[in-house]
Structure 1
Amino acid sequence: MERQNVLTKADAPEVTAVLSESGLRRMVGSAKIMRCQLEHLAKLAEQPNIHLHVAPFRCRAVAALAYPFIRFRVPAANANTPALEFVFVEQLTNGDYLDSPNEVEEYSVLWSGLLGAALDPVESRELLLFIAAEFE
């Protein structure tokens, strides 16, 4: 539970995530567990520091949906140091951290396309709750 508090504490980090509708509908556990998890995500999405987007089935295909990755941006500690930007790419048996400017830029372009194709946070939250209700 301590890890969950990171997102809701006073100095919580800014988090933006894009989830695929297929991942939200894939049954993991019971219908009750699915409903509770989706309702929990919808509740988290109410936090001002959490920006949750859903890439619905109807959105145009975006290459980023096929490549799970996490893009990190750590603000600069002071005016004399640059922000730290890197990407974590998931693979079947391990993951890689990419920090070269070219690689980070490529994933930044993928990220922009993904955000452009996904629903906005309000529509995403509504879809989360709609899907959760289907697990009644």
Structure 2
Amino acid sequence: MPQRLMVTDMSHEPRKRFAEELQKLRRERGLSLRELGKALGWDASQFGKMERGGTLGGPEIVQALDQYYGTGPLLLTLWELALGDPTQFKEQYRRYFLLQAEALSLWHYAATAPSGLLQADGYVREALTAGLAQGKDLEQHIEARVSRQKLLEGENAPPFRAIISEAVLRMGLRDKQAWRAQLKFLAEAAERPNVTIHALPFGSGMHGLSNTNTMFLKLPDGRTVAYAENDVRGELVEETERVERLQRAYDAVRDQALSPAESRMFILRMLEELPCEPST
């Protein structure tokens, strides 16, 4: 597996960091703006404006740049952070997003919502709308969130393990068809070679992560960090002792969860229990 990108000491202001990263990647390749435009089929002036911070561009051009430079979802992540109001993204959350883009492996416990890496389009739309996202940027945010799932695709995709509580699997969405699509998405994701999904049924007992969605990231420098969040706050945890304590809690939850094969069958049974939509 090729080494993933390391987070640098570049600007922490999202829009400026995005522009800096674009410029750095192009110069490292020894490309002029004209050569980059020719390679990707966009006008060179568009890339110039993006590198100067005059425009962010759209998700299509950013995805093309990620693919061209081999940066996974890094530029798309920076683009989404820059797209929103910078005040809504706390520094720790921005740093977590960037660390996620470089992670060698990831594992997650879902107490209230599936990991964003396992959310189908309809789930992302309802989640963003419930979070008061609206206006012309909503569709771009949705596309960026969904596109970030490319982190788990391809030959060099990192392994990802997810434990999902039954409460999450039974919460549902207002749009019943979107919820059906979400359960199908999870069942299909469970068949990928780098994705492992465990369901944690009701009655499994109390544990140390009961009310906390927690993501662990194994980084190229050998460290493991965690991001823990509930409905009101999130925290990037980097201290070794605290990360290890969370890791022990996660391991205990995994011991209580169903096996991957049992979990996929559990999800499929839930899908079968959904009432059929009336034909139109």
TM-score by length of 1: 0.87
**Match of residue 90 from structure 1:** 229
CA distance in 2, matches of 1:111, 1:75: 21
Task: Output the aligned Cα RMSD.
Answer: 1.5
Query: After alignment, is 43-52 or 56-65 more displaced?
Result: 56-65
Residue type matched to 2:195 in 1? I
Residue type matched to 1:113 in 2? A
**1:128 aligned to 2:273?**
no
CA distance in 1, matches of 2:204, 2:233: 29
CA distance in 1, matches of 2:197, 2:228: 20
**1:69 aligned to 2:229?**
no
- Report the secondary structure of 1:57's partner residue: coil
**Which of 98, 102, 106 is the matching residue for 2:245?**
106
- Report the secondary structure of 1:64's partner residue: coil
Residue type matched to 1:108 in 2? Q
CA distance in 1, matches of 2:183, 2:245: 31
Residues 35, 133 of structure 1: 8 Å contact kept = no
**Match of residue 79 from structure 1:** none
- Report the secondary structure of 2:152's partner residue: coil
CA distance in 2, matches of 1:112, 1:105: 10
Residues 53, 124 of structure 1: 8 Å contact kept = yes
Q: Which runs of 5+ in 2 are unaligned?
A: 1-145
**1:70 positional shift:** 1.1
Q: 1:4 to 1:67 in 2, by over 3 A?
A: closer
Residues 16, 51 of structure 1: 8 Å contact kept = yes
Residue type matched to 1:86 in 2? V
CA distance in 2, matches of 1:50, 1:69: 17
CA distance in 2, matches of 1:113, 1:75: 26
| The structure with more radius of gyration | 2
- Report the secondary structure of 2:157's partner residue: coil
Residues 7, 13 of structure 1: 8 Å contact kept = yes
**1:13 aligned to 2:152?**
no
Higher share in helix: 2
Q: Which runs of 5+ in 1 are unaligned?
A: 77-82
Residue type matched to 1:46 in 2? E
CA distance in 2, matches of 1:129, 1:34: 13
**1:133 positional shift:** 1.3
CA distance in 1, matches of 2:259, 2:177: 26
- Report the secondary structure of 1:92's partner residue: coil
Report 1 or 2 for greater relative contact order, CA contacts < 8 Å, sequence distance ≥ 6.
Answer: 1
CA distance in 2, matches of 1:126, 1:15: 19
CA distance in 2, matches of 1:13, 1:2: 16
Residue type matched to 2:228 in 1? V
**1:7 positional shift:** 1.4
Residue type matched to 1:123 in 2? E
**1:108 positional shift:** 0.8
**1:48 aligned to 2:190?**
no
Query: After alignment, is 95-104 or 27-36 more displaced?
Result: 27-36
Aligned length: 130
